[in-house]
Copies of this chain bind each other. A is one copy, B any other.
């Protein structure tokens, strides 16, 4: 797999930035934008994929369009946190379909969950019947998502 440190030049970073916004861009289009031929752009993309920098391509599903208008972030603090209880918790939380993301974290909480629901009443059902009954749960804190903005993020020095 990864054989060592990959160093990117400005063109690689421009390609990554463009593909982060629109994953459908073809090698030809990338080449047109950044002054490369189609094969040259294609070889750069393949190199980024082989290096593991481009880790995969995903579609973004708009949950609002599917009737899931509520997104809540839960911070979970476990009551007991031995090795076994972490595994129990992770296995159980993975079985809740409304949970989109499970993050094991260090700090005030032990886990952070991204949960989607149809509305607040639906969320309350998930919280009471699914989350609060998870094995080892101590305290749970919630934040309801209002708006979210994703940014390109850093790609290294230029």
Give A18-42 as 1s and 0s: 1 = Cβ < 8 Å from B's Cβ atoms: 0111111000000000000000000
A58 interface contact, C-beta 8 A = yes
Contact-residue bracket for chain A? 35 or more
Inside 8 A of A106's CB, which chain B residues have their CB? 143-144, 146
Inside 8 A of A83's CB, which chain B residues have their CB? none
Interface residues of A in 80-101 (CB under 8 A from B): 90, 94, 97-101
Decide: A22 near B100, CB < 8 A? Known: A65-B6, A143-B108, A143-B109.
Answer: no
Give A48-61 as 1s and 0s: 1 = Cβ < 8 Å from B's Cβ atoms: 00011111111111
Let me know if B66 and A22 touch, CB within 8 A. no
Interface residues of A (CB under 8 A from B): 2, 5-6, 8, 16, 19-24, 51-63, 65-68, 73, 75, 90, 94, 97-109, 112, 116, 141-151, 153-156
